[in-house]
Amino acid sequence: MSEQSTMSKQSDRDVSSPVAWTTPATIEQEKALATIFKIARILATQQELETTLSKFLSCLVETLEPVETGVIMLYDPEDERLTVQAAQGYDLTTLKKLRLAPGEATCGKTFQTGEALLYPTPRAVAAERKKMTAENRDVARAVSRIGAQSAVCIPLFTGQTKVGVLMLENRRQPESFVHEDIPFLMAVGDLIARSIENAHLREELQATQALEEANRLKAELISTLAHEMRTPLTSIKGYSTALLMEETTFDLETQKEFLQIIDEECDILQNLIQDLLESSIIDAGLLRLEPQPVRLPRLAQRATDDVARRNQQHRLLIDFPDNFPIVDADPYRIEQVLRNLLDNAVKYSPQGGLIVVRGEICEDEVIVSVADQGVGIAPEHLNRLFEKFFRIKSALGRHVVGSGLGLPIARTIVESHRGRIWAESHLGQGSTFYFTLPLEGPSRGLDQEELQNE
């Protein structure tokens, strides 16, 4: 651009409206209004804060002639530093390494003073950036070898609190920004700050709602466990008290029957407590897997044998192909999944019937299923079966014993093995639960004879 045209452009800006671009005032006012409307539309959307801020910057670069690059930095009170949350014209990943103290460089100074600051020349920009720490200077050089020719920094306030800085730059021409631009850019900054405030309020609301829901679920769990434990404890107390009565003598058959009931009720209590402990371990992130080569048909046989001993009404069948592959898994945890699914099948098929444990081989995974002939599950409940604390209200006309934690525990174990778990069901036609385990691992292709001593 020639010196004469540059001077002419500068002269035009000096006599223009408060938003002093290089076109007639009415056109520039229309551009300003269009920018405000676009920003308002972005503000009306409820997206992730980083996405929203990025859209704000993109809008400013597209609609305002002097703006070629832009950065939004937010202040972290705990770290006492400004960090980049959005950028246009820069590599955001690298730029996020910047950690500016209040007073450091252009953005830090704007944040410290709480005033909009104009840096009309490359010298003015460079003078402030000399105040950066060595680490921050290295980051700045990494993202851009071309320094800004002109820049403006706008403080962002929510109420009376400073929350960050908006910085806009031009890389081609000094004095691209002038003081007359600042009132408009301050209005833009107010809209951006409002978006930040709204995002923080949404986060606080979501956190509050999540906490309330967690407290409600915990209270519900405690209530459920108290109810579930009361029944077996009442039976244990009643039958043990009867056996200890000195004035009454029971024959050996009756004593055995009473002791059998006490033993079964103790098993129920033990399972409830075990589920609660397992859930606590998972919540604390302490679930540990010890994978090893495993033959799933053998695990399935062991689990079904145990369930069959405790439930005489049901017939249990295992159906695995002869060439079923060896998988890498934690045998204790996968057997725990099978037991949970089998116990669930027994509970919801109280009239007995057939329960089938089946294995299938796919290209890169195996599928294990447990199918029953029970009452089935309503469609609206299928997607929530594996949610923690969720329990289906029984339509059986009787109480179904359990903590409601078995299926969530099974889900966590399967997903920790990089598998999937789901259910299919129709009311009155039984249910089938499926889970998968990947075949990728050290034992893939291992011959079955190599595990004879398992």
Checking if the pLDDT of 13 tops 50, the result is: no
Q: pLDDT tens, 146-201? A: 778 999 999 998 888 899 999 999 988 898 888 888 888 888 888 888 888 888 88
- Any idea which of 54-63, 82-91, 330-339, 415-424 has the lowest mean pLDDT? 54-63
Please give the domain boundaries of the chain with CATH numbers for all domains.
3-204 (3.30.450.40), 210-283 (1.10.287.130), 292-451 (3.30.565.10)
Rg of the chain on CA atoms, in Å: 34
Chain centroid to Cα 237, Å, comes to 45
Checking if the pLDDT of 19 tops 50, the result is: no
Instruction: Provide the whole-model pTM.
Output: 0.53
Residue 295 and residue 165: Cα distance in Å, rounded?
60
Q: pLDDT tens, 115-136? A: 999 999 999 988 888 888 988 8
Burial class for 437, CB neighbours closer than 10 Å (0-12, 13-18, 19+): buried
Checking if the pLDDT of 272 tops 90, the result is: no
Residue 421 and residue 436: Cα distance in Å, rounded?
7
Closest by CA position to 437, among listed 333, 283, 327? 327
Closest by CA position to 81, among listed 107, 59, 57? 107
Closest by CA position to 169, among listed 187, 181, 156, 158? 181
Residue 350 and residue 398: Cα distance in Å, rounded?
10
Q: pLDDT tens, 428-440? A: 889 999 999 999 8
Q: pLDDT tens, 24-52? A: 445 556 666 667 667 666 666 667 778 88
Across the beta sheet with 421-425, the strand order is 314-319, 353-361, 365-371, 431-438, 421-425
Checking if the pLDDT of 334 tops 60, the result is: yes
